[in-house]
Amino acid sequence: MGVYTFENEYTSEIPPPRLFKAFVLDADNLIPKIAPQAIKHAEILEGDGGPGTIKKITFGEGSQYGYVKHKIDSVDEANYSYAYTLIEGDALTDTIEKVSYETKLVASGSGSIIKSISHYHTKGDVEIKEEHVMAGKEKAHGLFKLIESYLKGHPDAYN
């Protein structure tokens, strides 16, 4: 088994407290509302929303995938960080055992820097190259931009 790590960094005009509330704490409600083609719904299967919680995310009809299950590893509201692991679903291939994600929002001027790290845990001697994960990164960035646009258009939301 190998572990391949990829890092991304994005910027946003939205400050960390507001962005964290929308992007992390209420994403299960907000994303299906603003992007039902991407995510149809999210449901908690086990837990209370904190570490150890298992969520099932059902993708919209425009997606190439049906569903995934996430296990929440940590939620740190004070430091605007969140970590979860993709543990099941058709987004995992026969070569990937799991994918762990870490996200941290850092204040930058009046906005945020979003730092994201992905750890791909492979089965056997499979090698994961960054170009293989680019499509997923682009979809995630597109979803983030939708949330950011929503917050810009709704200045009173998530304050």
CATH number at residue 44: 3.30.530.20
pLDDT surpassing 80 at residue 72:
yes
Measure the CA–CA gap between 112 and 123, rounded to whole angstroms.
35
Q: Is residue 21 part of a domain?
A: yes
* Predicted confidence band of residue 103 (pLDDT cuts 50, 70, 90): very high
Q: Is residue 47 part of a domain?
A: yes
Task: Output DSSP code: residue 60.
Answer: P
Return the number of other C-beta atoms located less than 10 Å from residue 90's C-beta.
12
Q: Is residue 159 part of a domain?
A: no
Task: Note whether 75 and 50 are within 8 A (CB).
Answer: yes
Predicted pLDDT of residue 1:
72
Q: Is residue 124 part of a domain?
A: yes
Mean pLDDT computed over 92-115:
93
Amino acid letter for position 127: E
Predicted pLDDT of residue 61:
86
Q: Is residue 64 part of a domain?
A: yes
Task: Note whether 112 and 12 are within 8 A (CB).
Answer: yes
Each residue's pLDDT tens digit, 35-53: 998 899 999 999 999 999 9
Residue of 89, 28, 92, 36 lying closest to 61 (CA atoms): 36
Residue 31 lies in domain: 2-153
Q: Is residue 12 part of a domain?
A: yes
- Number of domains into which the chain is organized: 1
